[in-house]
Amino acid sequence: MKHIEKAESKHLDKIISDIRDGKYVIPDFQREFEWNPWDVNGLIASIFMDYYIGTLLLWKASEKNVKVLSCEGIKGFNGTLKPEHIVLDGQQRLTAMYFAFFNPDIVYPKRKSRCYFFMNIKFLVEENYEEAFYYKWEGKWYNDFLESPEQQYEHNVFPLQVIGKGTWEMMDWLKGYENYWKTQQELNTTTDTSELNEDEKQSHKNRTLLIKESLGFVPEITKVLRELLSDYNLSYIELDREISVAKVCDIFTHINSKGVALNIFDLLNAILRPYDIYLKDMWRNVSEELSYTDQDKMKIYVFQVMSILEQTYCSSKYLYYLVPDTVKTTKENGSKKKVVLIKSKEEFETKWNSAVEALKKTIYTLKNPRDFGAINSTFVPYPSIIPAFTAIKKHVEQKGYKNILDVNAKIKKWYWSSIFTLNYSSSVESTSAKDFIDMKKWFDDDTQEPENYIKFIQDLENQSFQKQNSKGSAIYNAIFNILILNEARDWYTSELPEYETLDDHHIVPHSWGKKNIGNDINSILNKTPLSPTTNRHIINSRLPNEYLAEMLENNGSEKFYKILESHLISKKSADILMRKPFTKEDYYEFIAEREKSVKSYIKSSIIDDFRELPIELRVINDQIEELELKIRDVIASKINGQYKEFIAGHVQDKVSRRIENTLKKNPSLSLEHFSSTRKKLDYFDLQEYCDVITAKQTWEFFEPMFKNKSQVMEKFSKLGELRNGIRHSREVGEVALLEGKASIIWFNSLI
């Protein structure tokens, strides 16, 4: 990779020297030192055992980079910093070495005392690494112990802080250790043992053995320490100092150390501080209102919404370009162009606040039992879809589309297709960018249906929901949301429930399923939104052939079946549930039947976007459809097969795309099916019929029938207004209704 050098290595002695000289600095966004003393012991033991302890990721320091990232020294360092490397990954390891080898004069993090690290020489020589390294808390005895090399020699204990003082200090300690035991040996040999009692003789004997053993340790421990410093290599990757901060952001956020995810939010918090933008404070002010899902993710979602709206993309490397006055190089028509997305602190804060407000609206919309039905965070199918959803809705608000009902219907189709195709299970940032681009195209052109939406339609019938039994999974939650949207009524009161109290309760009890079908009892098709009270009053671990029979008797058949239908339990499904005895086969027949009801809802309410109309409007809608068929027949007869000659090129292109989309959704069809002019006309809209009839080259064919071109255009306009009102809203204005009816009568009188 350009600007990233291959992995190199340094001797431990050089690493320790660089730590001592203040050459490593830590960015402000890095988390605090979090290791416990036993973690430090483990690291030191690994080093002495010549184990690999991971690769450091370092960025060559420059005055600018150090300032941008608000870098500081390693925790506890109190010398003069001489920054050579910014530590992007490896802070915990380097800080652990600092505490072990330098014994900084500060309390150990999150503790009340300093911590001292030692090595038992005997255990080390015997390769008993688990016991060789240990730590002790600050106290008078250990403070004195560290000041007395003789006590250290006597106990065969090597303070690890000696290593931090340098090779000469360490060799002096080893020489002192050897001289101490040689002196003890001389004293011991001059002792007259003949005058000692038995206990004293045994003590002298033990002392002789200890001295001999300790002198034997000298060459071993000297060899180990020398080889450790000169032969143990610590690997590192070094980033060129000229690499952009944006790329560093991206690299940084893909690193995991000790299982703790590193957070782009903390990095941006540090970078924004020099601009007097205090991100953590800004987040704290809005976090409660954005508490719908995981807070660490939600704080990143704010940035991702800003980024999608500003530059379409939202992966970590793009978020850096939201920093005020940051130059971004883009390519446009083959040439490079430099742009600044956000020019000032004030502009950043405005766009941050705008993204926050948009996210609030998204949360409200997702939770709303009339919009998307994710009544609480437990039942959100994909939290990761939130930034894309928010950015799309915000874009729509900013553009002010006139066909807002169509646009909202498309958003609804995109959302559910994304859930049921598991489109946000991976590569979320790239998926978000693609969807944002695709949706803008679809808003402007009905033929630009996103591929994922087409796939959703194609796969729906063959998709199985019966094994969706993991609460929290995307499709499980989506089906629960659909039950909320269908206004699933309370089984006890038959009223719309308090959604805050709802949960997914079993229809056929878990106790029965555990004995008969195992985990299949937890299928979402055997769950439905019920309050705890209703679950206790109605079900209470009973089989449905008992409690449903009571519901039927208490409420009457019409009300009973209507309540169950609101839970997408058809009459056939209900009758299966009430069979006596209720068997394993009955259970699987029930969930298969309920699956049909769920898919029927998806098709009618999401794919077809069907809305139940008042009777009068339903009659008018049928009349318009009949009229459209007549108009198609008239046009087909008049242009007499000369489709390419008389239909405008841009209309032909639109119709071709619509037919292509139909073919994608229905693989059983072929182009031959649409070869005739009449078949193609099925894919025109009302305005395009009008354009064909009133076009300069075709008006002569239609003038004898319609007489007045302006009147034709006016009637089509009124008819279109009524048709769109009926198909996309339950309310149609009185004027539009009367003028539309008049247009229907006018056309029928002429055709």
For the stretch 303-350, pLDDT in tens is 999 999 999 999 887 898 999 998 888 877 777 888 999 999 999 999
What's the pLDDT band for 256 if we cut at 50, 70, 90?
very low
**pLDDT level of residue 404 (50, 70, 90 thresholds):** confident
Q: How high is the pLDDT of residue 48? A: 93
Task: Round to whole Å and give the CA distance between 498 and 546.
Answer: 26
Task: Give pTM, 2 decimals.
Answer: 0.66
CA distance 523 to 588: 10
Enumerate helices (H) and strands (E) in the chain, giving the number of each: 36, 15
Q: pLDDT confidence of 257, banded at 50, 70, 90? A: very low
User: How many C-beta atoms lie closer than 10 Å to residue 490's C-beta?
Assistant: 19
pLDDT by residue (tens digit) across 152-167? 999 999 999 999 999 9
**Distance linking the first and last C-alpha atoms of the chain:** 70
Report d(CA 287, CA 266) in Å as an integer: 15
Torsion of the alpha carbons at 630, 635, 637 and 639, rounded to the nearest 10: 180
pLDDT (average), residues 171-194: 91
| pLDDT exceeds cutoff 60 at 637 | yes
Q: What is the pLDDT of residues 94-147, one digit of tens each?
A: 999 999 999 999 999 989 999 999 999 999 999 888 889 999 999 999 999 999
Share of the chain above pLDDT 90, in %: 61
Q: If pLDDT is split at 50, 70 and 90, which confidence band does 5 have?
A: low
Least confident of 195-199, 731-735, 744-748: 731-735
pLDDT value at position 242?
A: 83
In the block, which residue shows the tokens 């660490």?
296
pLDDT at 1 over 60: no
Mean pLDDT over 163-191 rounds to 93
pLDDT at 368 over 80: yes
pLDDT, tens digit, for every residue of 424-479?
Answer: 988 899 999 999 999 999 999 888 999 899 989 988 988 999 999 998 899 999 99
pLDDT of residue 611: 58
**What pLDDT is attached to residue 2?**
47
Label the pairing between strands 327-332 and 256-257. unpaired
The answer to which of 13-22, 32-41, 729-738 has the lowest mean pLDDT is 729-738
Q: Average of pLDDT values for 87-94?
A: 92
29 has pLDDT over 80: no
The predicted pLDDT at position 6 comes to: 54
Mean pLDDT within 554-581: 94
Determine the Cα–Cα distance for residues 153 and 174; give it in Å rounded to an integer. Answer: 9
Q: What is the largest CA-CA distance in the chain?
A: 144
Are 314 and 360 in contact, with CB atoms under 8 Å apart?
no
394 pLDDT more than 90: yes
Is the pLDDT at 262 greater than 50, yes or no?
Answer: no
CA angle, 214 then 215 then 221, to 5°: 80
Residue 506: name the closest of 524, 479, 480 by CA: 524
Strand partners, 503: 530
